[in-house]
Amino acid sequence: MNAIVAAFSAFASRLGFPVPDRSRYDHFMLYLHDWLKENSDFQTASAQQNVEFPPGSCWMVYTDGVPHAVVSGQYALEQTFIIPREVLVSPDVAPIGVLESSLGAKMAS
């Protein structure tokens, strides 16, 4: 899937569309997402919780802190909001801060 996204991004860039580079954090989160999807032990042995919503409802979730998946439904809209670190109340406990602290390396580009 990453190869398809990379090819599409390159194509869109050649057409003149603005295609920003991903940060190290974005690359890591995408890698982790794909690894969890492909890891059969994680898929079969990890605790799971299904949450169902009635037809016509809308819901929102902050997902950088938990593995997640949509297993059914008709429509999905994913939106990313980039929040500058300097406006966070506790940037050290934001997912990027926790990851940087664990790795001992900066993840922002």
> Per residue of the chain (109 residues), what is the pLDDT tens digit?
567 777 888 888 888 888 777 788 888 888 888 999 999 999 899 888 888 888 888 888 777 777 877 777 777 777 777 788 889 999 999 888 888 999 898 887 5
Residue from 85, 62, 87, 86 nearest 96 by CA: 85
Cα dihedral sign, 41-44-49-54: positive
Q: Please give the pLDDT value at position 90.
A: 93
Query: What does the pLDDT read at residue 76?
Result: 74
**pLDDT given for residue 2 in this prediction:** 65
Q: Which residue has the tokens 């009635």?
A: 54
